[in-house]
Amino acid sequence: MSPVNDIQRIKLEVTVGSQAVTGLLESRKDETPLVNVVLHPHPLYGGNMDNSVVKELVHLFHTLDEATFRFNFRGADFRGDFTGIKGAVEDFSSAIKKIESIDSYQLRGILGYSFGGSVALLAGGLFKPDFVVALSPSMRLIRDFSDWDSILQNISCPILLVHGNRDSTVPVTSSQYIARVTREELTSTVILENEDHFYSNSLSHTCEIIKDLVTSLNPE
């Protein structure tokens, strides 16, 4: 395993229609061309790719010698650019096309927190990742996307839902409902005791849960 400080960081601009979003591809030269995309919380409530939970997830994958890509949804830089969850999924699609044009990178996992978790689930049904991880996803936001139910049922990889039982921003019932829509045999739900929306107490534990999932999918 290489030192974590041996990371190459490449800033990218992703064009979405007539607009552009900024992103950061982080990897090592000797890594396989697989990349995990990490999605941030709601841009209208201060969410961006430098969110502390997002950065902790990115760090986790670097300790596993895996590449990551994170980017700002439209609206993170200028509020007037926000185009809702439909636009965020479009941002994701454009970001995937961008990274796949660089050094033959291919999508491995999709992870998201809060608003980003909702986008991760929709993207998981529209693309073909190896796994999807959603921290505190919002069912209310997912419902704003047309054909959301068939999209969630189309996810064909392992799904990990993590939610705090004291989350007053997005109630834990949101993940519990999502788990009833996605394919039961592919979905694992972890309810964190005494945890809120911000993972103040359980972020390290959450990263260990994600690590267990990712390493279980690695070829022996």
Q: Are 141 and 115 in contact (CB under 8 A)?
A: yes
What pLDDT was estimated at residue 32? 72
pLDDT tens digit sequence for 3-32: 566 899 999 999 998 888 999 999 987 767
Compare 187 and 103 and report the one with higher pLDDT: 187
Paired tokens of 1: 């395993």
DSSP at 105: -
The residue type at 49: M
Paired tokens of 5: 């400080």
| Alpha carbons 60 and 140: distance in angstroms, whole number | 29
In the chain, where are the structural domains located?
A: 8-217
What pLDDT was estimated at residue 4? 64
DSSP at 134: E
| Alpha carbons 176 and 182: distance in angstroms, whole number | 10
Collapsing DSSP states into helix, strand and coil, what is residue 75? coil
- Residue in this structure with the two tokens 């999502």, named with its chain if needed: 178
pLDDT tens digit sequence for 128-156: 999 999 999 999 999 999 999 999 999 99
8-217: CATH topology: Rossmann fold (3.40.50)
Q: Is the pLDDT of residue 203 over 70?
A: yes
- pLDDT category of residue 2 using cuts at 50, 70 and 90: low
pTM of the prediction?
Answer: 0.96
Q: Are 27 and 62 in contact (CB under 8 A)?
A: no
Q: Is the pLDDT of residue 81 over 70?
A: yes
3-state helix, strand, coil in the chain (%, to 5): 40, 25, 35
- List strands edge to edge, sheet with 187-192: 8-16, 19-27, 67-71, 34-39, 106-113, 131-135, 159-164, 187-192
Strands (E), the chain: 8-16, 19-27, 34-39, 67-71, 106-113, 131-135, 159-164, 187-192
